[in-house]
Structure 1
Amino acid sequence: MQRLVFWLVYPFLWVISKFPFWLFYKVSDIIFFIVYYLVGYRRKVVMENLHLALPNRSEKEYKEISKGSFKHMCDMFLEMVKSISIPNKELKRRYTFTNISEIERIRELNKSIILICGHYASYEWVNALQLYGLDYKGYGIYKKVQNPHFDKMAKDIRQRFDGELITSSQATKTIKSNQDKGILGVYAIVADQTPKLGRAKYWSKFMGTTVPIFLGSEKLAKSLDMAVFYLHVEKKARGFYEATFVPITDNAAEEPAFKITNKFLTELESQIKKKPDYYLWTHKRWKHKDAPIPKDAIVFPRN
């Protein structure tokens, strides 16, 4: 059944990926209308998140942000589909980096890099970094899709530009193996995930509310003394993004506990507050806000 669903859907996605951008975004507009107005997908969740994370705004503002975030979400989903066939030159034109020199600087230190991203603007096209001829192997750490056929499609799409996807369960083993072999890599990870409550050992404030915090990126970087950057992505226009590497540390092992995570959260919060439309508000990031904090958990301060 899963194979059948895949082969029914994939040809449709392939055709859409071939559309010129003006028509491509018309399809996104149609999907937005269906998702937002007809289906009402997670509209309640989005409004609850907005009221919690961005208090003291008018209902008109909340509605505008909600609509804007759904429009952006539909664009970003289709932009992943566009990656099936987008030419390298076109991707580089649409997803630019302001300071590639920062990556080259770390290369001189002979270190691998953890590139921390949030569910903000575009994290799907970050694989454009592979098109710049850097002396690094690019990796994306992701959560495996349940349908194996769609999982393979997602991997094939994201690996078109000579990068490689590894599951979160494989990440530590793969990175340690690469380090032992002298293989330098840039490892991109979306780090504002919600840990399962049973594994929620670290808590802190995010957008003003105390919730479980994912600390995997920091722990991994510190254990292997990697360099860490936050990927600051701005949406300049529809289908155009500008990314900047914000240095967090060159020597993760030397940083005090929670400093890396604190810096990441501060950078992400700043972007969300400035232009909230481009955050993925459908994500149930604050679903554990009312859960009791385990006695053995660590609640670390934000600074």
Structure 2
Amino acid sequence: MNTIFYFFIYQISRLPLSVLYLFSDFLFFLLYRVIGYRRNVIRTNLKKSFPEKSEKEIIDIHKKFYANFCDYLIETLKSFSISQEELDKRFTYSNLEVFNEIKSEKRNTMMMCGHIFNWEWFIGTVKSLPALETAAVYHKIRNPFWNKKINDMRARFGTKAIDMKDVLRFMMKAPNDGNLTYLFVADQSPKKSAVHYFIDFLSQRTPVFNGFDKIAQRKEMGVVYCKTEKIKRGYYHTTFIRLQPEGDKFAENEIVHQFFNHLEETIKEHPDNWLWSHKRWKYANL
């Protein structure tokens, strides 16, 4: 059944994006007008994150979020068949020089981004990076078939997928010689058992992962924030910003705070482009 469904999905992904966006429009109608997908979660997250905004502004962000979210789903579907050439037209970058700078220091690089649409299209970044190998850190999908298909999709562009459970061991064993770049989508909500550190983020007490901070410091890696903006439908641009310590070296959890400060600024510029349907603050009161 999985194989048949994948064949069907793959054939759909080969359609031009101009056609696929018609599916996105229909999906938007279903999620926003009919189903109200996670409506209460989204509205609550927005109100708590932007207490200064009016009800009208919150509703406007909410509606635009659904449109961007539906585009993201369709664009992720397109990732199964999209070419490098088309990705290069639709996803552009600036300040790539920071990667050459870090490589010249013989350090590996940790790229950090949030759930800003469309993070899946980062798969096309690899050819622009000076490192010999790029690894994307991911949470394993329970269905083995789809876990493999999604990892194969990323591997088409030269990205190696590493399960979050294995990343610490992998990174600690790898030489810190400038030949490895890691991509973290670093704003996930930790599981209840993994909540150890809190920050102030989007007007709320927020539990965060801080393991990447410990790894980056121990291995003395270069750290880069990926600021992604949606230029227009189907087109994105990422500016790479190197995180620098205030002193000679990063203090404990300084990378965590710098990353989330940058991410908060990015979200506030275009709040409809972040994943508000995520139950981000369900463990905020622990």
Distance 2:178 2:252 in 1: 27
Conservation of the 8 A alpha-carbon contact between 1:203 and 1:210: yes
Query: What does the per-residue CA deviation read over 1:105-157, in whole Å, with 9 as the maximum and x for residues that have no partner?
Result: 11111110111111113211112111226233111100011111111111011
Q: Does 1:225 align with 2:224?
A: no
Q: Residue 254 of structure 2 is aligned with which of 247, 254, 259?
A: 259
Residue 32 of structure 1 and its aligned partner are, at CA, apart by 1.7
Query: Counterpart amino acid of 2:214?
Result: K
The answer to whether structure 1 residue 41 and structure 2 residue 34 are counterparts is no
Please report how far the alpha carbon of residue 177 of structure 1 lies from its aligned counterpart in structure 2 after TM superposition.
2.4
Query: What are the ranges of 5 or more consecutive residues in structure 1 without an aligned counterpart?
Result: 293-303
Note the residue ranges of structure 2 that are not aligned, 5 or more in a row: none
> What is the DSSP-based 3-state SS (H/G/I as helix, E as strand, rest coil) of the residue aligned with 1:165?
strand
1:28 Cα deviation after fit: 1.1
Residues 226 and 251 in structure 1, CA contact (< 8 A), matched pair in contact too? no
Within the alignment, does 1:286 sit opposite 2:281 as a pair? yes
Asked if 1:153 is matched to 2:143, the reply is: no
Q: Which amino acid aligns with 2:26?
A: I
* Distance (whole Å) between structure 2 residues aligned to residue 252 and residue 78 of structure 1: 44
Asked if 1:115 is matched to 2:114, the reply is no
The reply on whether 1:249 has 2:244 as its aligned counterpart is: yes
Q: Tell me the residue number matched to 1:299.
A: none
Q: Deviations over 1:251-281 (max 9, x none)?
A: 9992111211111111111111111010100
8 A Cα contact 2:31 2:37, kept in partner: yes
State the distance in 2 between where 1:210 and 1:174 align.
31
CA distance in 2, matches of 1:184, 1:64: 44
Is the CA contact 1:116–1:228 (under 8 Å) kept in the aligned structure 2? yes
Query: TM-score by structure 1 length?
Result: 0.89
Match of 2:159, as an amino acid? Answer: G
For the residues of structure 2 that align with 1:124 and 1:166, how far apart are their CA atoms?
15
Rounded Cα–Cα distance in structure 1 between residues aligned with 2:75 and 2:248: 36
Q: CA deviation at 1:19?
A: 1.0
Q: Which amino acid aligns with 2:118?
A: S
Q: Secondary structure at the match of 1:63?
A: helix
The separation in 2 between residues aligned to 1:32 and 1:160, in whole angstroms, is 29
TM-aligned CA distance change 1:252 to 1:242, over 3 Å? farther
Native 8 Å contact 1:99 1:244 kept in 2 = yes
- When structure 1 is superposed on structure 2, of 73-82 and 110-119 the one drifting more is 73-82
> Aligned residues, how many?
286
What is the distance in 1 between the residues matched to 2:251 and 2:61? 36
Q: In terms of mean alpha carbon deviation, does 211-220 or 47-56 score higher?
A: 211-220
Counterparts of 2:129 and 2:136, CA distance in 1: 17
* Match of residue 184 from structure 1: 179
Q: For 1:254, what is the secondary structure of its paired residue? A: coil
TM-score normalized with structure 2 length: 0.94
Task: Quote the residue 1:295 is aligned against.
Answer: none
Aligned-partner Cα distance in 1 for 2:158–2:6: 22
Distance in 1, Cα, partners of 2:53 & 2:129: 45
Equivalence for 1:210: 205
| Aligned residue runs from structure 1 range 1-303, under 5 A | 4=1, 6-132=2-128, 134-179=130-175, 184-249=179-244, 254-289=249-284, 291-292=285-286
Q: Aligned to 2:199, what secondary structure does the other structure show?
A: strand
Give the Cα separation in 2 of the matches to 1:106 and 1:235.
27
* SS at 1:247 equivalent: strand
Cα distance change of structure 1 residues 24 and 213 upon mapping to structure 2, 3 Å threshold:
same
Paired residues of 2:95 and 2:241 also in contact (CA < 8 A)? no
